[in-house]
Amino acid sequence: MANLDSVLGCLDLNLDRSVERLSALLRIPSISTDPDYREQCRLAAEFLVGDLSAIGFTASVRETPGHPMVVAHHEGPENAPHVLFYGHYDVQPVDPVSEWKTGPFEPVVESRLDGTRKIVARGSADDKGQLMTFIEACRAFKAETGGLPCRVTIFLEGEEESGSPSLNPFLDANREELSADVALVCDTNMWDRETPAISTGLRGLVGEEVILRAASRDLHSGYYGGAAQNPIHVLSKILAEMRDETGRITIPGFYDDVSEVPDDVKKSWQGLDFSAESFLGDVGLSIPAGEKGRSVLEQTWSRPTAEVNGISGGYTGKGFKTVIAAEAMAKVSFRLVFDQDPDKIRAAFRKFVEDRLPEDCEVEFHPHGGSGAIQLPFDSPLLQKARQALSDEWPKPAVMIGMGGSIPVVGEFKSRLGMESLLIGFGLGDDAIHSPNEKYEMTSFHKGQRSWARVMAAIGEG
């Protein structure tokens, strides 16, 4: 622990210098969706390779058909675990630029009257500031101890904000090089200012487009109305039947592979400072619409959903057209939890629709992606170590939370590299990522570095 203390002290002493390094990275406008910034993306990758090489990593810019990846390796003690750290160096566009109070690529440190500070720039929180917390922790370890407490591979992507088109081929082509004991993914938020969080569950996703067809052409609702099958009616009815009065999904077998969250975890969620009223109130709602008898955190973290994301059919323009449409379409998605199998859920949904199809209707299905949920075993030793390390650093103990959405890279790490991920990040809800005046709290940057030092030390202890 003497080592760790000196590493933490080094981080405290060098905070200003670490801000300067981050600022240099923030000045590079690496907007990945905009082809005009192609060269700037490469510059950011090269900057990071330079910085990592200076620390002592074997680092290189790796070409892809899109923006390059950064891959860097550093040895650890014999038999120490091997971690892969993931972040991304690309950023979102800055529109509307007129709403920025300072230049999006001219980072400033703004001081508040209460003594806190924030780093304002595009990418400060998402994800340059976050990825630098880990690099600074490595730098301090090297400076104080001459090495790292575990074997480390750093993998930084340049296309996270533009759909990651090169990610999967790159993972497949470099499977051996990138496979580690665990991935540390730093692109998420704390629970609140005082409470660090590890996301242990990410819901999976199955998307399905359904097209129902009845008549061979659009019909006049005067001549045919009352006799002709209307596919909008059929579709509405099937979609309505998909959930019962208690909010449960009625598709047979849908809940077969859904487990319950352990009681102690459920209890820790109840203890969280979470207000369903303000979560829903912020978007103009007041009543949880999901399964009755479940808290909002359960509904969004640990329960599956069936959601109609889009529907269309017939005439939808201005005015009115008395038409009976030949077809109607819905885009339906399922958020999956625990062991729900995307293929099984897709098949069950298709059967549900087909079983309800009137004789005069035809159905066509188009699959749109499918990925299972990520659920870290709650008793995983690495998870417990990281949890303790974070609890040591922050005012409140770390919580294990779920995430309603998907983080594709985590699924790909699991399916392509067989690797679990610990999602640990120091962003806050008001960081305004993807918006004007994005900021990263100085406490996030500083204590984030210290957190990684603690996590690495804990993992390295073996």
- Mutual angle of helices 442-460 and 381-393, in 10-degree steps: 140
Among 9, 17, 106, 220, binds its own copies (CB under 8 A): 220
Binders of its own copies among residues 379 to 418 (CB under 8 A) are 403-406
Binders of its own copies among residues 423 to 452 (CB under 8 A) are none
Least Cβ distance, residue 259 to its own copies (angstroms): 16
Cα(386)–Cα(77) distance, integer angstroms: 19
Binders of its own copies among residues 229 to 268 (CB under 8 A) are 229-230, 232-233, 235-237, 239-241, 243
Among 322, 357, 395, 430, binds its own copies (CB under 8 A): 322
Least Cβ distance, residue 338 to its own copies (angstroms): 14
Give the contacts of 242 (CB within 8 A, at least 6 positions apart): 249, 250, 251, 306, 352
Q: What amino acid occupies position 389?
A: A
Q: What amino acid occupies position 6?
A: S
Residue among 350, 311, 308, 310 at smallest CA distance from 328: 311
Binders of its own copies among residues 279 to 298 (CB under 8 A) are 279-280, 283-291, 296
Among 43, 147, 224, 437, binds its own copies (CB under 8 A): 224
Encode 413-430: b = buried (16+ Cβ within 10 Å), e = exposed: bbebbebbbbbbbbbbee
Which segment (20-28, 146-154, 215-223, 261-269) binds its own copies by CB under 8 A? Answer: 215-223
Q: Does 360 bind its own copies (CB under 8 A)?
A: yes
Which segment (2-10, 177-185, 206-214, 387-395) binds its own copies by CB under 8 A? Answer: 206-214
Q: Does 365 bind its own copies (CB under 8 A)?
A: no
Complex with its own copies: residue 109 or 308, whichever CB lies closer? 308
- DSSP-derived pairing of the beta strands 421-424 and 182-185: parallel
Which segment (39-47, 90-98, 325-333, 433-441) binds its own copies by CB under 8 A? Answer: 325-333
Cα(100)–Cα(94) distance, integer angstroms: 8
Tokens encoding 400: 């294990």
Site size for its own copies, by CB under 8 A?
Answer: 79
Binders of its own copies among residues 296 to 315 (CB under 8 A) are 296, 299-300, 303-305, 307-315
Which residues share a beta bridge with 362? 213
Q: Say what the alpha-carbon torsion angle 455, 456, 458, 461 is, to the nearest 10 degrees.
A: 170
Among 184, 324, 389, 422, binds its own copies (CB under 8 A): 324
Cβ-contact 328, 231 below 8 angstroms:
yes
Complex with its own copies: residue 135 or 324, whichever CB lies closer? 324
Cα(240)–Cα(352) distance, integer angstroms: 12
